[in-house]
Amino acid sequence: MTVPLLIIDVQQGFMTPATAHVPGRVEALQADYAAVLATRFVNPEGSAHRRLLGWDRFAPGSAETALAFRPREDAHILEKRLYTCVDGPFLERLARLGAGEVHLCGIATDNCVLKCAVDLFEAGLRPVVLARACASHAGPDYHQWGLRILRRLIGAAQVVEGAEG
pLDDT digits (tens, 9 = 90+) for 23-68: 999 999 999 999 999 999 999 999 999 999 999 999 999 999 999 9
Query: Degrees (nearest 5) of the Cα angle 33, 35, 37?
Result: 115
CA distances for 107 relative to 10, 25, 27, 29, 74, angstroms? 6, 12, 14, 15, 21
Q: Are 9 and 108 in contact (CB under 8 A)?
A: yes
Q: What local confidence, expressed as pLDDT, does residue 161 receive?
A: 87
Architecture of domain 5-160: 3-Layer(aba) Sandwich (3.40)
User: How far is it, in rounded angstroms, from Cα 164 to Cα 63?
Assistant: 28
Q: Compute the residue count for the chain.
A: 165
Query: In the chain, how long is the greatest CA-to-CA distance?
Result: 42
Can you list the residues of the chain whose pLDDT is less than 70?
162-165
Q: What local confidence, expressed as pLDDT, does residue 165 receive?
A: 34
Q: What local confidence, expressed as pLDDT, does residue 162 receive?
A: 65
Q: What local confidence, expressed as pLDDT, does residue 164 receive?
A: 42
